[in-house]
Structure 1
Amino acid sequence: MTTAFVGADIFDGETRRSGLALVVEGERVAALLPEAELGPDMGVERLDGGLLAPGFVDIQVNGGGGVLFNDAPSVEGIRAITAAHARFGSTALLPTVITDRPAVTFAAIRAAEEALAQEVPGCLGIHVEGPFLSVARKGAHDPALIRRMEAADLQALCETRVRPLLLTVAPESVSDEQIAALAAAGIRVSLGHTDTSCERAAAAFAAGASCVTHLFNAMSQLGNREPGLVGAALDSPDVWCGFIPDGHHVHPAALGAALRAKRGSCRMIAVTDAMPTVGSDADVFELNGRTARRENGRLTLADGTLAGSDLSMIGALRYLAGPLGLPLEEALRLCSTHAAAFLGLSATNGRLGAGSRADMVWLDAALDLKGVWIGGERVRQ
């Protein structure tokens, strides 16, 4: 079936364009062309103004719709999480399993593999965050489950078939040789939950680590004599940085400085680090046997430690284009185009053009979602 979407401006991932129709054939975009060139028999969906943009791509989603991936490492769990976030414009995401027992971690990986085989809408692969982290920067991860990577772990991870697979590790628990082997196996290695030095982080990047997980949070900070992981990431133009734009995890001045520092390479990615509360009325959930609560938009453990976020990607976009003051086009790229590029999926995701997936969001002037499509199918909101 071929449908032409008309009546809204189109952001194609690079620029905002007016007066064009977006032609969708099945799951893909066939063309962007002037409305006058549409054939007389073509189906038309007329939109009432606003902006059509690429669907959001989120590389760090722990849960949603009342479901925590660690507690439901199954296709059904992934389906519930992707469906919850689709209502907020995330048309593609990496379900994220945090530090846990090996049985849970590898059940989650197998679930992601099966979800991809079943073409579960919105599932791109998997993000494994831990357990090879640093207790000193554990954040909300259970310190009893954090450990060093052993040879058997490396072999098992390299033998997985899910790609993209994003793996967050700390240099304290994973050697440069192991990072190189993981990268050679097609796994994207990210540094996070680490107290590493700037020099040690630079060595991990040279070995094959290509990203930093939630910049500024749970990592060594930028100092004048020891720049830490923050300094190493900002000083490395080829390194991608995920960040949580919710107004709680990172001060806007720090985030603004990081965005300016990385502006030349544009390797910044908005993530939600979302927990089960997104798309759910429940304000309380369990995290490795500990209680986390939602209050005033923050999720915390009993000791006040931030426990992921209550952020959706439409919320991230509003924060970036609102309080942070970014141009809308830049904010949209941070929420979609950059993540797709990092995952090597620019041909299909994060843009609207011939051959791309028809994953789209329709926004009004207030940045309210008026429609979401995954593979050309409209999502019920």
Structure 2
Amino acid sequence: MDMQISQAFVGARIFDGDAFRDKVALLVSQDRVHAVVPERDLTEHDPVTRLDGGMLVPGFIDAQVNGYAGKMLNAAPTVGTATAMASSLRAMGTTAILPTMMTDSPSAMRAAVRAVTGAAMKDACIVGMHLEGPHLWPARRGIHPGKYIRPVEDADIDYYIEARESLGVLMITVAGEQITPGQVRELTAGGVVVSLGHTDCDFTTAMTLFDAGATGVSHLFNAMSGFSHRAPGAVGAALEHPSVWCSIIADGHHVLPPAMRIAHRAKRGEGRLFLITDAMSLAGSAEESFMLHGTEIRKHAGDFCSRLLMPDGTLAGSDLEMLTAIRCTLLNMETGLTEALRMATSYPARFLGLKDRGYLRPGHRADFLHLTDTLHIAGVWTGGRKICTGQDEPDSRRPAHRIM
């Protein structure tokens, strides 16, 4: 075997981002995947790490994570906040994130862009940034403060394109009412990922913006015009347009199981539905509440994870991490394990244009995790280096399901 190989992993099924492969070895060279080869091709001289069953899967990718483990980008838009979020999430198997800044003051949002840009230089887990606002529709703003909401202006176009060049990936969530097709074309020509969300726009408006280059819909069903037989709305356009990707929050609260299943069956185009967490600082934390723009958000018990609610009952992000979202998907969407894993790995990588993430393929970063048959993390590797040896079995209120 090639002397460049630093490690060969055997003894587990390998999910390569597309499909499961049996009786194969994952070869790692420094921080990259070298190859996936039949076990019989290994020699006695190869440095072998032998695993006790389970599966190796690519690290998870989260395109919308506002906070985690007590840290929140809106609360403290600093390099330290972003890197602390990334560090905590790595131990949970999420090895690529877009720290997400919700609508805030112009100075805070620009500070967050600077902070995430600096954090991305320090931490390979941070692959870009997501700006959810301020270009939302007031009637669908949810927890976003209305005083900062406004349309996209020409100066914003230049700023976002420049920021994208520094960040690598910049995703923006905008309402269909707050942006024009021409502005979408300018942004996407500059490499910005445009996603519709927090919008009351109609089917025709959404389809026009998709045709202009918007490629995503943020948290399908939530905070957008719904579907009916004479007014298909943003939801109908998202499901109908073949080139549009839809993120979905699979926590059992944001979208009920029948809607999850309908979306998966209805979405035109292969692999166009992917998982996000929309996690807040309470996720991964023992804290029961936090303040956002002067409003208390509290945890309330749930089946897979807690609901995070404002005093008026409005959902306020999630208490979710990606492995729990996969379990919820398996139970409620009836996709099967292969599709559920794609929704957390290769699908978001394709949506975001990440060329070396989401798969276990030659040249891709060696970011992967070892899962047991009950979807318990037995180990996490980033850049070929083991950073986590595993966790306790899942909480009893978050059911584990044997799937092999």
TM-score (norm 2): 0.91
Unmatched 5+ residue regions in structure 1?
none
CA distance in 2, matches of 1:342, 1:379: 27
The answer to whether the 8 A contact 1:238-1:265 is kept is no
Aligned to 2:374: 366
The answer to whether the 8 A contact 1:321-1:331 is kept is yes
Q: Deviations over 1:286-322 (max 9, x none)?
A: 2122111111110011111100001100001111122
What displacement does 1:373 show? Answer: 1.2
Aligned with 2:337 (options 320, 328, 345):
328
Aligned with 1:39 (options 33, 43, 61):
43
TM-score (norm 1): 0.97
Q: Does 1:266 align with 2:282?
A: no
The answer to whether the 8 A contact 1:79-1:121 is kept is no
The alignment-based identity, stated in percent, is 46
What displacement does 1:263 show? Answer: 5.7
Deviates more, 1:213-222 or 1:121-130: 121-130
CA distance in 1, matches of 2:177, 2:333: 34
Q: Does 1:186 align with 2:191?
A: yes
Deviates more, 1:184-193 or 1:137-146: 137-146
> How many equivalent pairs are there?
379
Aligned to 2:121: 117
Q: Deviations over 1:132-154 (max 9, x none)?
A: 00011011111122112222222
Q: Does 1:246 align with 2:254?
A: no
- Flag the structure with more relative contact order, 1 or 2, with Cα contacts below 8 A and sequence separation at least 6: 1
Aligned to 1:165: 170
CA distance in 2, matches of 1:108, 1:154: 17
Aligned with 1:287 (options 292, 299, 317):
292
CA distance in 1, matches of 2:13, 2:160: 44
Aligned with 2:32 (options 5, 28, 36):
28
What displacement does 1:88 show? Answer: 1.6
CA distance in 2, matches of 1:368, 1:246: 18
What displacement does 1:28 show? Answer: 0.5
Aligned to 2:318: 309
The answer to whether the 8 A contact 1:84-1:278 is kept is no
Aligned to 1:379: 387
The answer to whether the 8 A contact 2:70-2:281 is kept is yes
Q: Deviations over 1:141-179 (max 9, x none)?
A: 111221122222222222222221000001212222222
CA distance in 2, matches of 1:32, 1:98: 40
CA distance in 1, matches of 2:324, 2:220: 18
The answer to whether the 8 A contact 2:357-2:365 is kept is yes
Unmatched 5+ residue regions in structure 2?
391-404
Query: Which structure 1 residue ranges, 4+ long, deviate > 3 Å from structure 2?
Result: none
CA distance in 2, matches of 1:149, 1:180: 13
Residue type of the alignment partner of 2:334? G
The answer to whether the 8 A contact 2:60-2:95 is kept is yes
The answer to whether the 8 A contact 2:25-2:39 is kept is yes
Deviates more, 1:228-237 or 1:14-23: 14-23
Structure 1 residues 47-86: aligned runs within 5 Å: 47-86=51-90
Aligned with 1:154 (options 152, 157, 161):
157
The answer to whether the 8 A contact 1:131-1:145 is kept is yes
CA RMSD across the alignment: 1.3
Aligned to 1:97: 101
Aligned to 1:135: 138
